[in-house]
C-alpha cells in the first residue's frame, strides 16, 4: 500500500510530528484507560482477581448478561438478515426513510431507550398494570433488560450487511432463481456464503454492545443483587461498595471482551478486504 | 496486504460467539433458586453492609424456626430512586428507605396503606441516625460547625437532595441550624444557597458522594450519615479521616414497611413481617449498632453508648419542618426552596 | 476553480459499483421480509418511541414550554450539545492527524495503533467511565500530574469533554480512513508536477475529497456524544447547571417521579437525534454522489 512516491511525502520532521501526535493522543485517551482497568484489577494479585470473579453475585451477573446477550444477539441477527434482504434485494418507495428508522436506536440516548420501556411496561405504564395482574414481569426482570438491549443493538447487524449486499447486487440470486432454486435455497447457498464474514462482524459488534450496555439497562434493571444486575451494573455496584479492585476485576472481563472483539474484527476485515478484492 | 485467517483466530471467534449461546440455559435456571422462599428488600444506599449481615441472621433464624430455606435479595440506591422503582413495579416485599416521604410516595400509589408508619413501633424506624461531618485527618480546614461550611474555599460534598434521602437530611439539618442561628427563613435560604455554592460534585446517592470524597479525594468535608462516616473510617483506616460532630443536627429516622400489594400477590406477608420484627429484636438492634446505626432499644443503646457522640437533635416533626410531607413540599418539590437555590 | 471540478470527477476510479438497479425483481420473499422488518421495527423501536410522544402529548403546550425553558433544562441541553460539539471538533482535528498518520505513513506499531482506535466502540461505557475517572481524578495517574498545574478534569465539565472525546474518536477516524485510502495517488502527483506545493496540494486536492467524510464523521461523533450516559456520569460532577448532561437530567427527573419532565426532555432529544440522522444520511449520500459520479 505504501509505495509512496517522493512528491507525496512530507518532510521527515512533519511526518514524525504527525505520527507522534497520533500516538500521543491514542495513548492518552485510549491506551491508558484500558491499561488502568487491568492495573486496578490486579492491584491485589491473581487470587483476589479470581475471587472477585467467582463471587456469587458476580457469577449471577455474568449469567444474566450471557442470557440477555444470547437472546438479543440471536433476535437481532435473524431480523438483521431479514431486514437487509428486504432492503437490498428489492426496490421500493421510502427505502431511505426506512434505513433512517433502522439507524434511529443508534442515536437515541440509552437512557431514553430504558425510559420508553418503563413508560410501556412499568406498573404506572400503558400495559404494565394488565401485565402485572396477569403475572408477567417485564420491567425489573430479564425480559425488560433484554428488550432494552435489543433496542440498543437493533441496527448493528443490518448496518453491516446492507452496504455489502447493496454492493453485491442481485445478479447471483436472480440467476439462482432462474435455475429453479427456492427462496431459502437461494439465501443459504448463494447469499449467505457471500456475506458470512460481514455477518459475523456485525454479530460481534452487536455482541460487544449487548454485553456492555449500561444506561438503558440501568433504567429498567431495579438493581436487585444476584438477580437483575448485569455485568456493567455489577461493576457500578462494586465500585459503590468500596470494592474497587473487585469492580475493576469484573470490568476487566468486559475490557477483555472488547479486545477479543477487536482482534476478531481485524481478522475479519482482512478477510472481507481480500474477498471483495477492492484493494 | 494479504492476511491469512489464522486458525487460532477462527477458534477464538467461534468460542467468543459460542460461549454466550452455550451458557445461556444456565441463566434460565438460576442456581441460587434452590431456596423455598424468597424475599426482596428494596433499601437505600448506605445500608448495604447492614443488610448483608442482617439477611444472614434472618435466614439462619428462619431455617431454625421453620426448617425452610430463604433467599433474601436486596437492591440499593438513592432512596428516591428506589421508591420510584417500587412504584414502577419492582416487586419489593419490604422497603427500608432513608425517610418516610419516600414510602409515603409509594403509599400514594396504593401499594400500601396510608397509615403504614403507625404499624410498627417508633414511627416504623427500628434504628436512627444523624448527620455528621467527615473531614480529612487533622481537619486542615478547621471545620467545626455548619457555619464553617459556607466559608469561601471550603469544598463540601453532599449528594443531590432530589434523589438521595441522606442528602435531604443533610439539607434539612443545615436549614435547622441556619434558622436557629439567623432567625429568619430568608436568611436560612441564603445560608443553604451559600452552602451549595461550595458543593463541587453532586452525586445521586449517598454512597456515590462517599466514594467521591474518600476514594477520589475531592472536597474538604463530607456531609454524611453518621453510620456512613463511621464506616468510611473503618474501611479506610483511622489515620485518614476524622468525624466532626456539629453543634446541632437532625434525628434521621429511616423507616421500614411491608409493601402490602406485593406481599399479597406473592404470599409472603408472614415472612416479611417476621423479617421486619427481627430488626426490633435484641439481636437485630445489636447488629444495627455494630453497623453504626443508633439502636432504639434502650438496653442495646446503653451498651453502645460510648460509640455514638451526643448531639443536639431536631426532628422532622419540629415546628420548623412540620413533618415530611410539608418539608418535602416546601423544600424539595418542583419550584421549592432547593430549586430556587439552583435556579439563580 | 475549474481545475478543482476536474479533480473531483477524476477522483473516483476505485468507487464500488452502485446499488440495486431498478427492475421488477424475480427474487422471492419481498412481502415476507419487508413485512417482518416493519413488524419488528414497529414492536421494538417505533411503538416504544411513540409511547414517549403520547406521554408528552398529555401535557399542554404551555407545560411543555415551561419544562423546556426551565433554566436547569436549558443548561443541561446546552451542556450536552455544547460539549458534544466541542468533543466532535477535537476529534475532527486529532482524527485528521491520526488518519493521516495511519494511512500515509509506515511506522513500527502502525497496525496496533490502528486496531486500538476501535476500543472506545467496543469497551462498555461504564467501564470507560470508571477507568477515566480513576485516571483523571486528582489522585489518579493523569489527574495527579495536572493538579499542580491547577487543571482539574474529573468532576468538571472538562471531564465530560474527555469522556465524550474518548467515545467519539472511532467515528471520525473510521469514516475518513477508507476515503483517504481510496484517494488516487496520481492526483497529488499531478498537482505536484504542476508545481503545487505540498500544503497547497493537500488543501486544494486532498481536503475537498475527504471533506464529506469528515463532516459525516463529525456528525456521527456528535450524535453519539449527545446521548452518551454511562461514561459521563462517573466523571462529571453532576452539578445542576454546570456539569449535568441532559440524559442525566432525564434520569433525575424520572427518579423524582417527574415523568412529564423526563419524557419531554427525552422527546426533545429524540427529535434532535432524528434530525441529526437525516443530516448524516444526507451527508453520506452527498459524499457517495461525489465519489460515485463517474461509476
Cβ within 8 Å of residue C35, ≥6 positions away: none
pLDDT of residue B71 exceeding 80: yes
Q: Which region, left, alpha or beta, applies to residue A182 given φ > 0 means left and ψ of -120 to 50 means alpha?
A: beta
Cβ-defined contact of A60 to B20 (cutoff 8 Å): no
**Which one of C30, C37, C84 would you mutate to disrupt binding with A, by most A Cβ within 10 Å of its Cβ?**
C37
| Domain assignment of residue C52, yes or no | no
End-to-end CA distance of chain A: 9
Largest CA distance in chain A: 76
Chain B positions touching C154 (Cβ under 8 A) are 216, 218
How many other CB atoms sit within 10 Å of the CB of residue A275?
A: 13
CATH number of the domain encompassing residue C283: 1.10.3720.10
* pLDDT confidence of residue A180: 87
Structural domain includes residue C213: yes
Residues in chain A with CB shorter than 8 Å from the CB of C135 are 32-33, 36
What average pLDDT does range B270-283 have in this prediction? 96
Q: List CB contacts (< 8 A) between C100 and chain A.
A: 18, 22
CB atoms within 10 A of CB C244: 26
Q: Is B85 on the interface with A (CB under 8 A)?
A: yes
- Answer whether residue C14 is part of any domain: no
Q: Nearest CA to A222 among A141, A138, A167, A161?
A: A141
Residues 6 or more apart in contact with residue A238 via CB below 8 angstroms? A52, A244, A246, A247, A250
For residue C79, list chain B residues with Cβ-Cβ distance below 8 A: none
Contact A67, A143 (CB under 8 A): no
Q: How far apart are the CA of B66 and the nearest CA of chain C, in angstroms? A: 39
Q: How far from the centroid of its chain's Cα atoms is residue B311's Cα? A: 21
Instruction: Determine contact, residues B269/B172, Cβ cutoff 8 Å.
Output: no
Looking at residue C20, what is its pLDDT? 41
What pLDDT does C237 receive? Answer: 80
Rounded to whole angstroms, the Cα distance separating C166 from B111 reads 44
Report the share of chain B in percent with pLDDT over 70. Answer: 90
CB-nearest partner of B74 from A68, A204, A225 = A225
Quick one: which of B2, C48, C27, C29 has its CA closest to A171? C27
Q: Cα-flanking dihedrals φ and ψ of residue B73, to 5°?
A: -100, 150
Cβ-defined contact of B343 to C72 (cutoff 8 Å): yes
What confidence tens digit (pLDDT) does each residue in C100-139 have?
A: 999 989 899 888 898 899 899 889 999 999 999 999 988 8
How far is C186 from chain A, CA to nearest CA, in Å?
A: 9
Strands (E), chain B: 37-43, 70-75, 94-96, 127-128, 131-136, 156-157, 221-225, 241-244, 248-250, 256-258, 294-295, 312-314
CA dihedral over C153, C155, C161, C162, signed as positive or negative: positive
Q: What are phi and psi of A30, to 5 degrees?
A: -120, -50
Cα B217 to Cα B136: distance, rounded to the nearest angstrom: 9
pLDDT at position B2 is 33
**How many other CB atoms are there within 10 angstroms of residue B335's CB atom?**
9
Size of interface B-C (CB pairs under 8 A): 62
Q: Give A242's contacts in chain B (Cβ within 8 Å).
A: 211, 214-215, 235
Partners of residue A201 in chain B, C-beta under 8 Å: none
Q: Give chain A positions within 8 Å (CB) of C158.
A: none
Q: Which three cell numbers stand for residue A117?
A: 420501556
State how far the Cα of C197 lies from the Cα of C195, in Å rounded to an integer. Answer: 6
- When pLDDT is cut at 50, 70 and 90, the band that residue B234 belongs to is confident
Asked whether the beta carbons of residue A128 and residue B89 sit closer than 8 angstroms, the reply is yes
Indicate the pLDDT class of residue B34, thresholds 50, 70 and 90.
low
Selecting from A139, A223, A226 the residue whose C-beta is nearest the C-beta of B32 gives A226
Q: Do A267 and B3 touch (CB under 8 A)?
A: yes
Residue percentage of chain C with pLDDT more than 90? 41
Question: Residue B29 has what pLDDT?
Answer: 41
Start-to-end CA span in chain C (Å): 23
- Nearest Cβ partner for A8 among C26, C129, C185: C185
Q: C237 and B342: CB-CB below 8 Å?
A: no
**Chain B residues touching residue C155 (CB < 8 angstroms):** 200-201, 212, 216, 218
Which residues of chain C are within 8 Å of residue B202 when distances are taken between CB atoms? 237-240, 244
Closest CB to C124: pick one of A92, A98, A212: A212
* Domain B31-126+253-303 falls under CATH 3.30.910.20: no
pLDDT at C199: 82
Whole-number average pLDDT of chain B: 87
Question: Which phi and psi (to 5°) does residue A179 adopt?
Answer: -80, 0
Using the 8-state DSSP alphabet, how is residue B242 labeled?
E
Nearest CB among A59, A123, A203 relative to B87 is that of A123
For chains A and B, what is the number of CB pairs under 8 angstroms? 132
Does any domain span residue C21?
no
User: Is the CB of residue B207 less than 8 Å away from at least one CB of chain A?
Assistant: yes
Q: What Cα–Cα distance (Å) separates residue C69 from each residue in B4, C59, C65, C241?
A: 58, 15, 6, 13
**DSSP classification of residue A182:** -
| Torsion angle, alpha carbons of B149, B151, B157, B159, to 10 | 70
CA of C222 vs chain A CAs: smallest distance (Å)? 10
The values of phi and psi at residue A92, to 5°, are -155, 165
Interface with B, mutate which of A57, A67, A209, A268 (most B CBs under 10 A): A67
What are the b/e assignments for C141-150, b being 16+ CB within 10 Å? ebbeebbeee
Count of domains for chain C: 1
Q: Which of residues 7-66 of A touch B (CB under 8 A)?
A: 56, 59-60, 63-64, 66
Give the sheet arrangement for strand B70-75, strand by strand: B70-75, B37-43, B94-96, B256-258
Pairwise CB contact (< 8 Å): B204 & C137: no
Touching check for A227 and chain B: CB below 8 Å?
yes
Cβ distance A74 to B21 less than 8 Å, yes or no, reads: yes
| Angle, helix A231-239 to helix C125-136, in steps of 10 degrees | 30
What is the distance in angstroms between the Cα of C130 and the nearest Cα belonging to chain A? 8
Identify all chain A residues contacting C285, using CB atoms and an 8 Å cutoff.
96
Chain C partners within 8 Å of A77 (Cβ): none
Chain C neighbors (3+ CB pairs < 8 Å): A, B
Question: Where in chain B do CATH 3.40.190.10 domains reside?
Answer: 31-126+253-303, 131-251+311-343
pLDDT digits (tens, 9 = 90+) for C134-186: 999 888 899 999 989 989 898 899 999 999 999 999 999 988 998 888 887 88
Tell if the CB–CB gap between C20 and A88 is shorter than 8 Å. yes
Q: Spell out which residues of chain B touch residue C138, defining contact as CB-CB under 8 Å.
A: 216-218
Class of domain B131-251+311-343: alpha beta
Tell me whether residue C49 is in a domain: no
Do the Cβ atoms of B27 and A64 come within 8 Å?
Answer: yes
Interface contact flag, C48 A151, Cβ < 8 Å? yes
- Which one of C14, C130, C247, C262 makes the best mutation probe of the A interface by having the most chain A beta carbons within 10 Å? C130
From chain B, pick out residues whose CB is under 8 angstroms from the CB of A139: 88-90
Q: Check CB contact under 8 Å for B88 and A124.
A: yes
| Percentage of chain A lying above the pLDDT 90 cut | 52
Q: Is the sign of the CA dihedral A210, A215, A216, A218 positive or negative?
A: positive
Which of C117, C127, C177, C182 to probe the A interface (max A CBs under 10 A)?
Answer: C127
Which contacts of C150-156 are long-range, i.e. CB under 8 A and separated by 24 or more positions? C153/C235, C154/B216, C154/B218, C154/C235, C155/B200, C155/B201, C155/B212, C155/B216, C155/B218, C155/C235, C155/C236, C155/C237, C155/C243, C156/C237, C156/C243
Instruction: Report pLDDT digits (tens) over C81-97.
Output: 999 999 999 999 999 99
User: What pTM was computed for the model?
Assistant: 0.84
> Which residues on C lie below 8 Å from A263 (Cβ)?
115
Cβ of A112 and C247 within 8 Å? yes
Residue C209, pLDDT score: 84
Closest CA relative to residue B158, chosen from B173, B145, B147: B173
**Predicted pLDDT of residue A48:** 92
Question: Which residue positions in chain A have pLDDT lower than 70?
Answer: 1-8, 272-279
Note the ipTM here.
0.85
Amino acid at each position: 500500500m505504501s509505495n509512496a512516491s517522493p512528491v507525496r511525502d512530507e518532510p521527515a520532521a512533519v511526518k514524525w510530528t504527525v505520527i507522534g501526535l497520533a500516538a500521543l493522543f491514542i495513548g492518552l485517551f485510549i491506551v491508558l484507560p484500558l491499561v488502568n482497568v487491568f492495573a486496578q484489577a490486579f492491584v491485589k494479585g491473581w487470587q483476589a482477581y479470581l475471587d472477585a470473579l467467582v463471587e456469587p453475585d458476580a457469577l449471577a451477573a455474568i449469567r444474566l448478561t450471557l442470557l440477555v446477550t444470547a437472546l438479543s444477539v440471536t433476535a437481532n441477527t435473524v431480523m438483521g438478515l431479514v431486514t437487509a434482504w428486504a432492503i437490498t434485494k428489492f426496490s421500493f418507495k421510502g427505502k431511505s426513510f426506512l434505513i433512517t428508522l433502522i439507524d434511529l436506536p443508534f442515536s437515541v440516548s440509552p437512557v431514553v431507550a430504558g425510559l420508553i420501556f418503563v413508560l410501556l411496561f412499568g406498573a404506572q405504564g400503558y400495559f404494565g398494570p394488565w401485565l402485572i395482574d396477569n403475572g408477567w414481569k417485564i420491567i425489573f426482570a430479564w425480559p425488560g433488560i433484554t428488550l432494552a438491549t435489543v433496542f440498543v443493538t437493533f441496527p448493528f447487524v443490518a448496518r453491516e450487511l446492507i452496504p455489502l449486499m447493496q454492493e453485491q447486487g442481485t445478479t447471483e440470486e436472480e440467476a439462482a432463481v432462474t435455475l429453479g432454486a427456492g427462496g431459502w435455497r437461494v439465501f443459504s447457498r448463494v447469499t449467505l456464503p457471500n456475506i458470512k464474514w460481514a455477518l459475523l462482524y456485525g454479530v460481534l459488534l452487536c455482541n460487544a454492545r449487548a454485553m456492555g450496555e449500561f444506561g438503558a439497562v440501568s433504567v429498567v434493571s431495579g438493581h436487585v443483587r444476584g438477580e437483575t444486575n448485569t455485568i456493567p451494573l455489577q461493576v457500578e455496584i462494586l465500585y459503590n461498595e468500596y470494592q474497587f479492585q473487585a469492580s475493576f476485576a469484573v470490568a476487566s472481563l468486559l475490557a477483555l471482551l472488547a479486545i477479543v472483539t477487536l482482534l476478531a474484527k481485524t481478522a475479519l476485515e482482512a478477510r472481507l478486504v481480500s474477498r471483495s478484492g477492492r484493494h | 496486504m494479504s492476511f491469512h485467517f489464522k486458525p487460532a483466530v477462527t477458534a477464538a471467534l467461534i468460542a467468543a460467539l459460542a460461549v454466550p449461546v452455550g451458557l445461556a440455559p444456565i441463566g434460565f435456571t438460576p442456581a441460587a433458586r434452590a431456596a423455598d422462599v424468597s424475599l426482596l428488600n428494596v433499601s437505600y444506599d448506605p445500608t448495604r453492609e447492614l443488610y448483608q449481615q442482617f439477611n444472614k441472621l434472618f435466614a439462619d433464624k428462619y431455617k431454625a424456626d421453620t426448617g425452610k430455606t430463604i433467599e433474601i435479595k436486596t437492591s440499593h440506591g438513592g432512596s428516591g430512586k428506589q421508591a420510584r422503582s417500587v412504584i414502577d413495579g419492582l416487586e419489593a416485599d419490604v422497603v427500608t428507605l432513608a425517610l418516610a416521604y419516600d414510602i409515603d410516595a409509594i403509599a400514594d400509589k396504593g401499594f400500601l396503606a396510608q397509615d403504614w408508619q403507625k404499624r410498627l413501633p417508633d414511627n416504623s424506624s427500628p434504628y436512627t441516625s444523624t448527620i455528621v461531618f467527615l473531614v480529612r485527618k487533622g481537619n486542615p480546614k478547621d471545620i467545626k460547625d455548619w457555619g464553617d461550611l459556607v466559608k469561601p474555599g471550603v469544598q463540601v460534598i453532599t449528594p443531590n437532595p432530589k434523589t438521595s434521602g441522606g442528602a435531604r437530611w443533610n439539607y434539612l439539618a443545615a436549614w435547622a441550624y441556619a434558622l436557629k442561628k439567623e432567625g429568619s427563613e430568608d436568611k436560612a435560604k441564603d445560608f443553604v444557597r451559600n452552602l451549595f455554592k461550595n458543593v463541587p460534585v453532586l452525586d445521586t446517592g449517598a454512597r456515590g458522594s462517599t466514594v467521591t470524597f474518600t476514594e477520589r479525594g475531592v472536597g474538604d468535608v463530607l456531609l454524611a450519615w453518621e453510620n456512613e462516616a463511621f464506616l468510611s473510617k473503618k474501611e479506610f483506616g483511622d489515620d485518614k479521616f476524622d468525624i466532626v460532630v456539629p453543634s446541632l443536627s437532625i434525628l434521621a429516622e429511616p423507616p421500614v414497611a411491608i409493601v402490602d400489594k406485593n406481599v399479597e400477590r406473592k404470599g409472603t406477608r408472614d415472612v416479611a413481617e417476621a423479617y421486619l420484627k427481627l430488626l426490633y429484636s435484641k439481636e437485630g438492634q445489636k447488629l444495627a449498632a455494630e453497623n453504626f446505626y443508633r439502636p432504639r432499644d434502650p438496653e442495646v443503646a446503653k451498651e453502645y453508648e460510648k460509640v455514638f457522640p451526643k448531639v443536639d437533635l431536631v426532628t422532622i416533626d419540629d415546628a420548623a419542618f412540620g413533618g415530611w410531607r410539608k418539608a418535602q413540599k416546601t423544600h424539595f418539590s418542583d419550584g421549592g426552596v432547593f430549586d430556587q437555590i439552583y435556579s439563580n | 476553480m475549474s481545475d478543482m471540478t476536474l479533480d473531483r470527477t477524476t477522483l473516483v476510479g476505485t468507487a464500488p459499483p452502485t446499488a440495486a438497479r431498478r427492475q421488477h425483481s424475480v427474487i422471492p420473499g419481498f412481502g415476507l421480509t419487508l413485512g417482518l422488518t416493519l413488524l419488528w421495527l414497529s414492536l421494538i423501536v417505533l411503538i416504544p418511541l411513540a409511547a414517549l410522544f403520547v406521554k408528552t402529548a398529555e401535557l399542554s403546550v404551555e407545560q411543555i414550554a415551561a419544562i423546556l425553558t426551565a433554566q436547569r433544562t436549558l443548561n443541561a441541553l446546552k451542556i450536552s450539545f455544547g460539549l458534544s460539539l466541542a468533543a466532535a471538533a477535537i476529534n475532527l482535528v486529532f482524527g485528521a492527524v491520526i488518519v493521516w498518520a495511519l494511512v500515509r505513513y509506515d511506522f513500527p506499531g502502525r497496525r496496533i495503533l490502528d486496531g486500538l482506535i476501535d476500543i472506545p466502540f467496543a469497551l462498555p461505557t461504564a467501564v470507560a467511565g470508571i477507568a477515566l475517572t480513576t485516571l483523571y481524578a486528582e489522585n489518579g495517574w493523569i489527574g495527579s500530574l495536572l493538579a499542580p498545574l491547577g487543571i482539574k478534569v474529573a468532576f468538571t465539565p472538562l471531564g465530560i469533554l474527555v469522556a465524550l472525546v474518548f467515545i467519539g474518536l472511532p467515528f471520525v477516524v473510521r469514516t475518513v480512513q477508507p476515503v483517504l485510502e481510496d484517494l488516487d495517488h496520481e492526483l497529488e502527483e499531478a498537482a505536484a508536477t504542476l508545481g503545487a506545493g505540498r500544503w497547497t496540494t493537500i488543501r486544494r486536492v486532498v481536503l475537498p475529497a475527504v471533506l464529506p467524510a469528515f463532516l459525516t464523521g463529525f456528525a456521527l461523533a456528535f450524535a453519539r456524544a449527545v446521548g452518551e450516559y454511562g461514561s459521563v456520569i462517573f466523571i462529571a460532577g453532576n452539578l445542576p447547571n454546570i456539569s449535568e448532561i441532559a440524559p442525566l437530567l432525564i434520569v433525575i427527573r424520572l427518579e423524582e417521579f417527574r415523568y412529564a419532565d423526563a419524557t419531554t426532555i427525552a422527546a426533545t432529544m429524540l427529535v434532535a437525534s432524528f434530525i441529526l440522522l437525516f443530516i448524516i444520511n444526507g451527508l453520506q449520500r452527498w459524499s457517495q454522489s461525489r465519489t460515485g459520479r463517474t461509476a
